Amino acid sequence: MSSNGSYNLTVDGELRYVVQWFEEWSDFQREDFVPYLVSYLSQQAGGAVYVNGLITAMAQINPGQEKPMSLFQCRVKLFNEWCIKWPEEFKAKLLERLEQTDSTLGERIRAELESATKPMNGSLEELDSQLTNAEATRDLGEESAPIALIVNAEPVMVAANAIIVADED
């Protein structure tokens, strides 16, 4: 123990603790841990660091209550503080170790990671890709009108013999 009363763990020791906690947690706690894990695994190197190592949802767990955090909440908080300093190769190592403990949850985590890396419908990446593809297929030699993009167009029905009725006051 160091002079300030805290333990000096190596990053390998921290990883072992997280895996051990995961093995001890109930199915519900493992499910609750998935968003934190997916956030860590999908985060790029040098990405955003959460305030005090907490994801926003964790900061809102018991707003206004003076009740102390549960052991599970403390462990998730430690995970969030530790993982930001772990080397990049720990992502694959952690996921592999957790999949050995719970293969079903491991598959779910991989599925969430895949969906997190795909551009969302209407995202800038998707729009940029669509515009680039449209420009590539257009013949550059001919004069043509610029490409237009219609967003949120609603169908309009017009009657053949429309009658305009004035409101009398």
CB atoms within 10 A of CB 50: 16
Which 8-state DSSP code applies to residue 5?
Answer: S
pLDDT of residue 53: 44
Quote the pTM value: 0.56
In a domain, 18, yes or no: yes
> pLDDT tens-digit profile of 9-24?
899 999 999 999 999 9
Q: Residue 117's Cα: distance from chain center in Å? A: 9
Cβ–Cβ < 8 Å for 25, 33: yes
> pLDDT tens-digit profile of 78-91?
999 999 999 999 99
Rounded Cα distance between 8 and 1, Å, is 7
In a domain, 155, yes or no: no
In a domain, 60, yes or no: yes
Rounded Cα distance between 51 and 69, Å, is 17
**How many domains, the chain?**
1
What residue numbers bound the domain in which 77 lies? 11-117
